[in-house]
Each structure stands twice: as C-alpha cells, then as structure tokens.
Amino acid sequence: MPVYQYEGQHYDLPEGLTKEQAIAKIEAHLGKTTAATPAPSAPSGFIQGLTDPLYGAAQAVGKVLEQVPESVTIMGRPVAASARAFGEKVVPQREQQYQAQREAAGETGIDLGRVAGNVLNPANLVAGVRAAPVVAGAIQGALTPVTEGGDYGVTKLEQTAAGAVGGKLGEVAAKAVGSALNPLVSKAEQTMRELGVTPTAGQALGGAYRKAEDFAQNLPLIGEAVRNAREKVLFDFNKSVINKALNKVGDQLPANVIGRDAVAYAAEQVSNKYDDVLSKMQFNLDFKTTSDILGALNKANLPSEMQKQEAINVLNKVALSRFDKPTLSGAEYKAIESDLRKEAQAYLSSTTKAEKDIGAALQDVLQVFKQELASQNPKMTSQLRRIDSAYGDLAVMERAAANGGAVNGVFTPKNYQTAVRQADITRNKKAYARGVARGQDVAEAAMEVMGKDAASTLEGRLALSGIGGGATALAASPFIAATYTDAGRKAMDALLRSRPDLVRQLGGQIQQAAPTVGGLFGAPSLTEINR
C-alpha cells in the first residue's frame, strides 16, 4: 500500500490515487475542509464574436495559400503547411476551447455577447449598413470560421447561403417587430372605422385569424360569444350605412332600430325632408328648360328613330303633359320626378339593349330636371343636394335589404356589394367597373374586413389548428369568450390598434430600418442559433 506524506506525517492509502485525491482523503480524515474551487468565469463572448470574422478571413486566405505550388518559391512548402495547420488545427481548437470554457462556466444557449461582437466587427458592420440584407448576410456567412471537419468549400458555400437567408429573415423579423409596435391599419379597415364599425379581433387581423374565428363560431362555449360579437359588428355595419344617409338630412336611427324597420325609418325621414324642402320650391317649364330637356334626348344618341320616339312618348306621358300651367309647385314636381325615375329604372332593367338605351336616355333627362330645379331655387340648392344624395344612398340600401340572404332586412356585405352594382345606372356599369359607384368603397371595405357571410369553413378549421389547435381554444374558452363581450371587444381592439405615440414612432423607425437591422443581426443570429 503506498505511503503518502502530508504535513510531516505519513499515511497509508490505496493504490491508484492521484496526488489531489490523496490530499483530499487525508484532509477528510483529519476533518479539514477543502476550500471550494471557484467556478471559472465565462470567456468573453463579445471578444470571440468580434474576432470571428478575422479568423474566418485568415482561414480563407490560408486555403488560398495552400494552393501555392512548392516550386514557386523556397518558402512555398512552409507557407502551404502553415496555412493548412491554421485552417485545420488553430481555428477548430480555438472554437473547442471557447465552448469548453463556456460549459465549465455553466453558460448554455444562445451567446448574445458573441452575436453582438459579430455585429460590431468592422467588416460585418460596414456590410450590414451599406449592402442589401441578403448581400450583407452572405458576406457575414463567408467570414464565419469553419470549425468542424468536412469539405471546406462545401461548408463555406453552406455558410454563405445560410448568411444570405439569415439577412433576409432578419429584415422580415425587424419588420414584424416594427409592425407590432406600430400596427398598420389597411385602407379597408380604416374605411370601416371611419364609418363607425369596430371589427372583431379576427376581422381586424384578417387572414388565418379571421378564418379561425369563422370556424370558432361552431365551437362549444366560445361559439355563442363569437357569433354574438360578429352579429353586433353586422348590426353596426347596417346602422352605420343607414346613418351615413340620414346624417345628410340631419337625422339618425333610433338606438334599437335595425333591419326592415331601420330601412323604413330612413325612407320616411328622407321623404319627409324632401317634401319639406319641395314645399318651399317651384318649377318653371320655360323655353330654356324645355330646350335642355330635349337636348338631353338628342345627346343620348339613340340609334333608331323608333327608340327616340318611344323616349319622347314616355317623357310626354309622365312629365310634359302635366304642365297645364308654366309653373308647378314642389309637390307637383315631385310626382313628375318620381314617375320619370320609375320609367327609367324599368327600361334599364330590360334584357334588350334597345330598351336599356331608352332607360339611360330617360335617366339623363331626369338629371336635367333635377339640375333645373336647383338652379331655379338657389336658396334651397345645398339642402336639395344633400337630400338627393341621401336618396341615392337609400336606393342602394333598399336593394341590399331586399336581396337574398338579408334576414329580416339585415344585409350582409355581399348583399350590399350586389346592391351597389345593381344601382349603378351608368352605361355598361362603367362606374362600378372603375370602382367609383355609389357606396362601392364601403361595400368592398366591408367584404375585405368582415367577409361575405362569415360562414364556417374547412379553411377555418385548419386555420384554427395552425394558430393553436381546437384543444387549446377550448381550454382557453372562458378567456376567449370574455374578449367577445362588448367590453372585451373594445379592450381587445385597443390592445390591437392603440399604441402610445412614442411606441408607434419606435415601431415606424424599426420598420424603416428593417433592411439595415436585418443585414446586421440576421446572419449572426442564425449562425448562433445553428451553432
């Protein structure tokens, strides 16, 4: 048994012990406590990252020097050998030593210090600021040392490609962060909000979120809450469209009126306002007015004399024949306008082009009557224009409330869009084709934000699973249901769309700087994640 000496004394100990183990046993026998060895400090990740591109560049140069023919110079052989040793031994050993030191210090996970060092290396910094994210990332990837075995050329190509991808991903990530801090509201959503409609969270976020919300209407517990919230948005949409017309005549819907009752209320109020204004007006059929009316028929360019004569006959029947005196009261004028509008709409609804042309000509004549009424009663012109505009809006919503799918007169975005097209009286629906038909901006915005009918679909089911799964949704159903109450919906909307000005400004700056941020951080971050 080996004998060990410790502080002048000899001790018999088992074989095979190292010096340190022997001392530890002796001190334990003597009741002494060995001072704990202090944990090693972690190496500087920042310095490692800062110098990484230098080693990567030197390694690349070394690979080039390896190709120097020995015959070129007497130093050819030593140069090639040194280059090979640097690339195959020095660089990998440096990495192994660094990782061993990190492990000994208890450091694991992403090395943020190393990422920071990589970013601030002059070569990477210049590339990130001056070049496009993909190019900057590729440069950073090319300067990353190869620390493991394998084909250097293949690995370097992989690093360069990964760097390019990382640069682009960094740009995308930066834009996403900026967008979260400064959420952009689409033109469609802005139109709806200006109208007074606050969409649900799924409608506001759109895409997969709206599809998931579509399907969530059929889920237990939360389905009823989602349906109620969606119905409230639909009601708000209907009321806002009707109130947009009523506001033009200084009125609005009572609080609890919706559907057919709301449309009927609006029609009555607009008609009453029109009657009130007409009672203060007169219409005079003088030579100028007659010339303008007949001129409108001539400008219509009806292709045949038969069409022209038919249009004149209609005009005589519903309008000119009623002028048994030169001046008519407002009420008498209203009857002419109403009958002329009906005749024009009837012809425009025909399936034959010839009759459609006659309808368009009568519509032109109707516009002349309106213009003459305004010009002859200048004090009432502004009121008359507002009422006329309200009438136009009313005509669209009446069609929407009558379209199939409108339950009890509550019209969907699709109902309203169809009505907008139907009410377009321009030839060949040119106004609708150009996107300028009456109410088209609102209809298309509602279609984009709310969807056609908000019906559940297989897409919704799949979207829900992609966001978190049906099980997750059910587990969180009490919370989700709460977000679809009136108070919850307002709070969620504020969370999604409301940000302090300082935060919005920061988000906007990040979005603007996204290419630079991506170019600087994308490749080093991806490299560290994959390390």
**Nearest CA to 143 among 66, 51, 43, 65?**
51
pLDDT of residue 425: 75
At 468 the pLDDT is 47
d(CA 93, CA 75) in angstroms, rounded, equals 26
C-alpha–C-alpha distance, residues 116 and 118, integer Å = 5
Q: Contacts for 118-125 with beta carbons within 8 Å, 24 or more apart? A: 118/49, 118/50, 118/52, 118/53, 118/524, 118/527, 118/528, 119/49, 119/520, 119/521, 119/524, 120/50, 121/49, 121/50, 121/51, 121/52, 121/53, 121/54, 123/53, 123/57, 124/53, 124/520, 124/524, 125/520
Helix, strand or coil for residue 122?
Answer: helix
Q: What pLDDT is stored for residue 234 in this prediction? A: 92
- For 193, 203, 226, 245, 256, the CA distances from 259, given in Å and listed in that order, are 21, 22, 21, 15, 10
Distance of CA 499 to the CA centre of its chain: 16
Q: Is residue 255 exposed (0-12), middle (13-18) or buried (19+ Cβ within 10 Å)? A: exposed
Residue partners of 528: CB distance under 8 A and separation at least 6: 110, 111, 114, 115, 118
Q: What is the pLDDT of residue 460?
A: 43
Q: 19: buried, middle or exposed (CB in 10 Å: 19+, 13-18, 0-12)?
A: exposed
Listed as ranges, residues in the chain with pLDDT below 70 are 1-2, 15-17, 32-43, 67-81, 83-84, 87, 174-185, 220-221, 452-483, 489, 492, 494-504, 506-508, 511, 526, 531
Residues 6+ apart with CB under 8 A from 34: 24, 27
Amino acid 185: pLDDT:
66
- Of the candidates 293, 439, 269, the one whose C-alpha atom is nearest the C-alpha of residue 371 is 293
8 Å CB contact between 348 and 425: yes
pLDDT of residue 221: 64
Looking at residue 32, what is its pLDDT? 64
Is the Cα dihedral 269, 275, 276, 277 positive or negative? positive
Helix (H) or strand (E) holding 5: strand 3-6
Q: What is the pLDDT of residue 241?
A: 96
Give the three-state DSSP class for 528: helix
Judge contact between 249 and 386, C-beta under 8 A.
Answer: yes
What was the pLDDT predicted at 471?
45
pLDDT of residue 386: 93
Contact 119, 511 (CB under 8 A): no
| CB neighbour burial string for 22-56, b if at least 16 within 10 angstroms, e if fewer | beebbeeeeeeeeeeeeeeebbebbebbbbbbebb
